[in-house]
Amino acid sequence: MNSYLIRMTVPWLCPFLLVMSIWILLRGHNAPGGGFIGGLVAAAAIAFWCFARGVEDAKRWMRVSPLHLMIAGVSTALISGLMPMFAGKPMLTALWHKVEVPLLGKLPLGTPILFDIGVFFAVVGVTTSILFSLEEFELWNRSGPS
Amino acid sequence: MEPFWAVVVGIMFGAGIYLMLRRNLSKLILGLILISNAANMLIMTSAGLTRDAPPMIAAGKETLTGTYADPLPQALVLTAIVIGFGVLAYFLTLLQGAYKSNKSENLDRLGGGAS
Amino acid sequence: MTTIIESEPWLATVALISTIIILVSMGMTVVHLLRGPGLSDRVAALDLTALLLLGAIVLYSLKTGNPMFLDVALVLALLGFLSTIGFARYLEERNKP
Amino acid sequence: MNLLVLPVMIPLITALLLLFCQKNRRLAQIVSTIGAFSLPAVGLLILSRVHEEGIQVIHMGSWQAPFGITLVADYLSALMLSVCGLVGAAVAVFALKEDMNLSREGVFFPLLHALLMGVNGSFLAGDMFNLYVWFEVMLISSFVLLSLGKTNAQLLASIKYVALNLVSSAIFLTGLGLLYGKTGTLNMADLAVQLQNTESTVLLTSTALFFLVAFSIKAACFPFFFWLPPAYPAAPAPIAAIFSGLLTKVGVYALFRTFTLIFNQDTAIFQPILYWMAILTMVTGVLGAVAQMDIKKILSYHIISQIGYMIIGLALATKLALAGAIFYLVHHIVVKTNLFLLAGAIEKSGGTNDLKKLGGYYKGYPLLAVMFLVPALSLAGIPPLSGFFSKLFLIRASLENGDMFMAFMALAVGVFTLISMTKIWMEAFWKKGVGENERRPAKIKRLDLTVTMPIAVLAVVTVVIGFSAGHVFHFAELAAEQLIAPQMYIDAVMGGNAR
Amino acid sequence: MALPLIVVVGLLLSCLAPTLGRLLGQKVAPLLALFPAAVCLWLCATVLPNLDTPLLFEAPWIPSLNMSYAFHLDGLSALFMLFISAIGTFIFMYAGGYLGNHPQLGRLFAFLLLFFSAMLGLVIADDLILLFIFWELTSISSFFLIGFKHESEEARRSALQALLVTGAGGLALLAGLILLGDIGGTYRVSELLLRGDTFIRHPLSDAALLLILAGAFTKSAQFPFHFWLPGAMVAPTPISAFLHSATMVKAGIFLLARLHPLLSDHLWWTPLVAGAGAITMTYGALRSPWERDLKTILAYATVSVLGMLTMLLGLGVDKAIPAFVAVILAHAFYKASLFMVAGILDHQCGTRNIDELRGLRSALPITSVAAGLAAVSMMGIPPLFGFIAKEKLIEAALKAEWYGMLMIAAVFVSAACLTVSAWQVGFRPFRGTPKPTPKQAKEGGPLLWAGPLFFAILPVPLGLLVSFWSGPFFSAAVGAIQGQNLEMTVKLWYGFNLALLMSFLILGAGVGLTLKRDKITAYLKRTVYAKWPAAFHGAAVFQFGLKQAFALANAQTRILFQDALRHNLTFIMVVFLGLGFTILKITNVAWPFNPVPLDNPPLFELMIGLVIVAAIAAAIRAQSMVVAAACLGVVGFAVSCFFMIHGAIDLAITQLVIETLTVLLFVLVVHRFPDFNTKESELRRRFDALLAAASGAFMTLLIWKADLIQLQDPISGYFAENSMTKGYGQNVVNVILVDFRALDTLGEIVVLLIAALGVYSLTRQKLKKAKKATEGGAA
Residue spans per domain, chain B: 2-50+69-101
> Tell me, what's the pLDDT at D173?
94
Q: With an 8 Å Cβ cutoff, are A141 and B56 in contact?
A: no
- Please spell the DSSP secondary structure of E368-433, one letter per residue: HHHHHHHHHHHHT-TTSHHHHHHHHHHHHHHH--TTHHHHHHHHHHHHHHHHHHHHHHHTGGGSSS
E695 domain residue, yes or no: no
Q: Is E553 helix (H, G, I), strand (E, B) or coil?
A: helix
Tally A–D CB contacts below 8 A.
Answer: 33
Does residue E566 form part of some domain? no
CB contacts, 8 Å: A74 with chain B: none
pLDDT digits (tens, 9 = 90+) for D254-285: 999 999 998 887 778 888 999 999 999 999 99
Nearest to E463 by CA among E397, E339, E379: E379
> Is the per-residue pLDDT at E625 higher than 70?
yes
CA distance E164 to E425: 30
Highest average pLDDT, of B27-36, E102-111, E766-775, comes from B27-36
B-chain residues within 8 Å CB-CB of E661? 85
On chain C, the residues whose CB falls within 8 A of the CB of A1 are: 85, 88-89, 92
Nearest to E619 among B30, B41, B71 (CB): B30
Task: Give, in degrees to the nearest 5, the angle at Cα E557 between E555 and E563.
Answer: 120
Q: Dihedrals φ, ψ of D407, to 5°?
A: -60, -40
SS3 C4: helix
Please report the pLDDT score of residue E479 as a whole number.
Answer: 85
In this predicted model, which residue has the larger pLDDT, E608 or B17?
A: B17
Distance CA C22, CA C19 (A): 5
Torsion of CA E124, E130, E132, E135, to 10 degrees: -50
Please name the chains neighbouring B, where neighbouring means 3+ C-beta pairs under 8 angstroms: A, C, D, E
Q: Which residues of E touch A138 (CB under 8 A)?
A: 668-669
What count of Cα atoms within 13 Å lies in the side-chain half-sphere of residue E303?
31
| E strand segments, chain A | 96-101, 105-110
Q: In this structure, what is the dihedral angle of CA atoms E568, E570, E576, E581, given to the nearest 10 degrees? A: -160
Q: Which domain holds residue E632?
A: 604-677
Residue A99, classed as helix, strand or coil, is: strand
Contact E334, E455 (CB under 8 A): yes
Q: Are B42 and E703 a contacting pair, CB within 8 Å?
A: yes
Does C37 sit behind a cis peptide bond, omega within 30 degrees of 0 on the bond before it? yes
Segments making up each domain of chain D, as ranges: 2-494
Average pLDDT of A55-62?
89
Q: CB–CB of E642 and B5 under 8 A?
A: yes
- In this structure, the answer to whether residues E647 and E518 fall within a common structural domain is no
Check CB contact under 8 Å for E759 and A47.
Answer: no
Is the Cβ–Cβ distance between E40 and E85 less than 8 Å?
yes
Is the CB of E669 inside 8 Å of chain B's CB atoms?
Answer: yes
Closest Cα to residue D378, out of D338, D347, D410? D338
Contact C34 E618 (CB under 8 A): yes
Are A and E touching by the rule of 3+ CB pairs within 8 Å? yes
D20 and chain A in contact, CB less than 8 A: yes
pLDDT on residue E83: 87
User: Are E332 and E237 members of one domain?
Assistant: no
E-contacting chains (≥3 CB pairs under 8 Å): A, B, C, D
User: What is the count of structural domains for chain E?
Assistant: 4
- Which residues of A are less than 8 Å from D61 in CB distance? 90-94
Burial D356-367 (b: 16+ CB within 10 A, else e): ebbbbbbbbbee
Q: Do chains B and C touch (3 or more CB pairs under 8 A)?
A: yes
The residue of chain E nearest to residue D136, with distances taken between CA atoms, is E751
DSSP code of residue D187: B
Cβ(D380)–Cβ(D387) below 8 Å = yes
Average pLDDT over residues A14-27: 90
What are the domain boundaries of chain A?
4-143
Is A32 in contact with B78 (Cβ distance < 8 A)? no
Residue-wise pLDDT for E321-373, tens only, equals 888 999 998 998 999 999 999 988 888 888 888 888 888 888 888 888 999 99
Residue type, C10: W
Residues 670 to 699 of E: which have CB under 8 A from any B CB?
670, 672-678, 680, 688-689, 691-693, 695-699
Q: How far is CA D390 from the centre of its chain?
A: 15
Residue D25, min C-alpha distance to chain A (Å): 18
Is C97's pLDDT higher than 70?
A: no
Task: Please answer yes or no on whether C46 and E633 come within 8 Å at the CB atom.
Answer: yes
Q: Identify the pLDDT of residue E779.
A: 46
For residue D8, give the nearest of E760, B88, A110, A85 by alpha carbon.
A85
E169 SS3 class: helix
8 Å CB contact between D319 and D481: yes
Q: For testing the chain A interface, which of D1, D2, D6, D130 should be mutated: the one with the most A CBs within 10 Å?
A: D2
**Cα R_g (chain D), whole angstroms:** 22
Q: How many CB atoms lie within 10 A of CB A75?
A: 19
Which residues are within 8 A (CB) of D493 and not within 5 positions of it... i.e. 6 or more apart? D55, D57, D65, D70, D72, D126, D187, D188, D189, D190
Contact E630 C57 (CB under 8 A): no
Chain A positions in Cβ-Cβ contact with residue D28 (cut-off 8 Å): none
Check: CB of residue D256 under 8 Å from CB of residue D325. yes
- Provide the 3-class DSSP secondary structure of residue D59: strand
Q: Is D21 on the interface with A (CB under 8 A)?
A: no
Is C in contact with D (3 or more beta carbon pairs below 8 Å)? no
Q: What is the mean pLDDT of residues A82-110?
A: 81
Q: What is the mean pLDDT of each run of 10 residues along chain D (499 residues)?
A: 88 93 85 94 95 92 87 94 94 83 78 94 94 95 84 78 92 92 89 78 80 93 88 87 91 93 83 93 92 91 93 91 94 94 88 83 85 92 89 92 90 91 88 70 74 92 91 93 91 73
Give A121→chain E minimum CA distance, Å.
10
* pLDDT tens by residue, E572-600: 999 999 999 888 887 766 654 555 555 55
Domain boundaries defined on chain C: 9-95
| CB burial readout C62-74, b (16+ within 10 A) else e | bbbebebbbbbbb
Q: Please, which residues have CB within 8 angstroms of residue D299's CB and are 6 or more apart in sequence?
A: D232, D244, D289, D336, D339, D340, D343
Would you state the pLDDT for residue D201?
A: 65
Q: CA-to-CA distance for E674 and E648, rounded, in angstroms?
A: 39
D14 touches chain E (CB under 8 A): no
Contact E701, E589 (CB under 8 A): yes
pLDDT band at E12 (very low <50, low <70, confident <90, very high): very high
Q: Can you tell me the distance from the alpha carbon of D266 to that of B93, in angstroms, rounded to the nearest whole number?
A: 42
**The pLDDT value given to residue D107:** 85
User: Would you state the pLDDT for residue E386?
Assistant: 86
Q: Could you give the dihedral angle defined by the CA atoms of residues D126, D130, D136 and D141, in that order, rounded to the nearest 10 degrees? A: -70
Q: What is the pLDDT of residues E563-573, one digit of tens each?
A: 788 888 999 99
**Which residues 540-559 of E are in CB contact (within 8 Å) with B?**
557-558
User: Between residues 36 and 65 of chain B, which touch chain C (CB distance below 8 Å)?
Assistant: 52, 54, 56
For residue A44, give how far its alpha carbon lies from the nearest alpha carbon of chain C (Å): 8
- Give CA–CA dist A120/D147, Å, rounded: 28
Q: Which residues contact E438 (CB under 8 A, 6 or more apart)?
A: E349, E350, E351, E356
pLDDT score of E614 = 87
Per-residue confidence (pLDDT) for residue B115, from 0 to 100: 33
Distance (Å) from the alpha carbon of B60 to chain D's nearest alpha carbon: 24
Neighbour-count burial for D269-301, b at 16+ CB within 10 Å, e otherwise:
bbeebbbebbbbbbbbbbbbbbbbebbbbbbbb
**Per this entry, what is the length of chain E?**
779
For residue D354, which phi and psi values (nearest 5 degrees)? Answer: -80, 120
pLDDT confidence of residue D26: 86
Q: What is the pLDDT of residue A32?
A: 86
E589 assigned to some structural domain: no
Q: Which of D226, D318, D361, D497 to mutate to test the interface with E (most CBs of E within 10 A)?
A: D226
Rounded distance, CA A41 to CA E654, Å?
Answer: 9
Between positions 392 and 451 of D, the ones with CB within 8 A of E are 392-393, 395-396, 399-400, 404, 407-408, 411-412, 414-416, 418-419, 422, 426, 429-432
Contact in structure between A123 and A43 (CB atoms under 8 Å) = yes
What sections of chain C are H helices per DSSP? 4-7, 9-35, 39-64, 68-95
Q: Which CATH architecture has domain B2-50+69-101?
A: Orthogonal Bundle (1.10)
Burial of A5 (0-12, 13-18, 19+ CB in 10 A): exposed
Do residues E640 and E765 both lie within one domain?
Answer: no
Which of E73, E90, E77, E78 is closest to E35 using CA atoms? E90
Task: Name the minimum distance, in Å, from the CA of D41 to any CA of chain E.
Answer: 23
Pairing status of strand E55-62 against strand E67-73: antiparallel
Best probe of the B interface among D128, D137, D138, D155, by most B CBs < 10 A, is D155
Q: Give Dmax (Cα) for chain E.
A: 119
User: What does the mean pLDDT of chain C come to?
Assistant: 81
Which of B32, B90, B112 has the CB atom closest to D160's CB atom? B112
Question: H or E stretch including E366?
Answer: helix E365-379
Looking at residue D497, what is its pLDDT?
58
Same domain, E156 and E30: yes
What pLDDT was estimated at residue B112? 41
Distance from E632 to chain A by nearest Cα, in Å? Answer: 19
Q: Are E142 and E114 in contact (CB under 8 A)?
A: no
Using DSSP's 3-state secondary structure scheme, residue E243 falls into helix
Structure confidence by residue, pLDDT tens digits, E159-211: 998 999 888 999 999 999 999 998 888 899 888 888 878 888 888 888 999 99
Could you tell me the CA-to-CA distances from C15 to C60, C61, E135, E605 in Å, in that order? Answer: 9, 11, 89, 17
Nearest to B82 among A32, A36, A134 (CB): A36
E559 alpha-carbon distance from chain centroid? 29
Q: What is the DSSP letter of E156?
A: H
Using a CB-CB distance cutoff of 8 angstroms, which residues of chain B are in contact with residue E598? 1
- In angstroms, the separation between the Cα of residue E745 and the nearest Cα of chain D is 9
For residue D351, the SS3 value is: coil
* CB < 8 Å to D166, chain B: 32, 36, 87, 91
How many A×E Cβ pairs under 8 Å? 148
User: By CA distance, what is A142's nearest residue in B?
Assistant: B100
Which range among E130-144, E231-245, E401-415, E518-532 has the greatest average pLDDT? Answer: E130-144
C78/A contact by beta carbon, under 8 A: yes
Neighbour-count burial of A16, counting CB atoms closer than 10 A to its CB (0-12 exposed, 13-18 middle, 19+ buried): exposed
Nearest by CB: A137 against E737, E757, E766? E766
CB A40 within 8 A of CB A106: no
Together in a domain, E249 and E391: no
Q: What is the pLDDT of residue A146?
A: 44
> Please, what sign has the CA dihedral across residues D397, D400, D406, D409?
positive
pLDDT tens for E516-545 read: 888 888 888 777 766 665 556 677 888 888
